[in-house]
Amino acid sequence: MKIISIINQKGGVGKTTTVINLASALTQQGKKILVIDLDPQGNATTGLGLSNSEKSDETIYGILNGTKSISEVIKKTKFDNLDLITSNVDLSGLEVETAGDSDRAFILKVKLASYFNDSGAIYDYILIDCPPSLSLLTVMALVCSNSLLVPLQTEFFALEGLTQLMKTIDRIKINLNPGLEIQGILLTMYDRRNKLSSQVEQEARNYFKEKVYQTVIPRNVRLSEAPSHGVPVLIYDKNCPGSKSYYSFTDEFINQENQIGSAA
């Protein structure tokens, strides 16, 4: 089982879209997936057809504040092999509430470890949808993850924000999680008519080399429509350019995993 955080401290870069559609595509290949919505906005929750306005103790907040165990809050989605731990706006208070806890960065890691040790539950991947900030919640996700995936929008300030993220990752590796790796960087919101998109792509590939996936995710109306229907775009319109690119990205992701597995 592998825990992967999908992270970028900028909002609106396609994090949640990537979580939902990667999860959906992996389940279609027979993988069992748990999505953890760690964003107080709860977009992954609604994007997978569940409510983000339910009682707060039945969400990830209930786990992190100690009122619920993971087994009590995991919910089935309407998609086979895809489970979800939901989120809502109450989660935004966690940072203040845990201010006195010196081990708070490890809360999520400890909870997940004890759940999987006790329950024997088996998932191929746990995907964590991180909030758009380098906050306590993001640190919690990075501490318990094996690797992280960075959606990077092909726009002007994109790479600038990435250097800040890299510094945070390096600090986490030194102090809290030495095994943390960057799984890859996924270019999103790509516009072939826009020269800037290809310039940002070139810069990202020059700097991060093979860490940047070959697949790029285009700007696509169907991608932005799908969440309002509570389904991944792969189910909403599996033939649109957005769906095709997420299928292609998932193939790349699985090939990468197979290579990592055979190298190990």
Report pLDDT for 120: 80
CATH number of 2-263: 3.40.50.300
Give yes or no for residue 55 having a pLDDT over 80: no
* Contacts (Cβ under 8 Å, ≥6 apart) of 143: 105, 106, 108, 109, 172, 176, 177
Classify burial at 210, counting beta carbons within 10 Å of its beta carbon; exposed 0-12, middle 13-18, buried 19 or more: exposed
CA angle 33, 35, 38 (to 5 degrees): 160
pTM of the model: 0.95
pLDDT at 228 over 80: yes
- Inter-axis angle of helices 158-175 and 195-208, to 10 degrees? 30
| Mean pLDDT in residue range 10-38 | 95
Residue position matching structure tokens 């792509």:
201
Instruction: Give the pLDDT confidence of 84-98 residue by residue, as tens digits.
Output: 999 999 898 888 888
In the predicted model, what is the mean pLDDT of residues 5-15?
92
Structure-token pair, residue 131: 């909030």
Write down the pLDDT at residue 264: 61
H/E run at residue 101: none
Band (35; pLDDT cuts 50, 70, 90): very high
Render pLDDT for 194-212 as a digit per residue (tens, 0 to 9).
Answer: 899 999 999 999 989 999 9
Radius of gyration of the chain (CA): 17
Tell me: pLDDT of 174 over 70: yes
Q: Is the pLDDT of residue 54 over 80?
A: no
CA–CA separation, 35 and 79 (whole Å): 12
Q: Map tokens 């989660």 to a residue.
A: 91
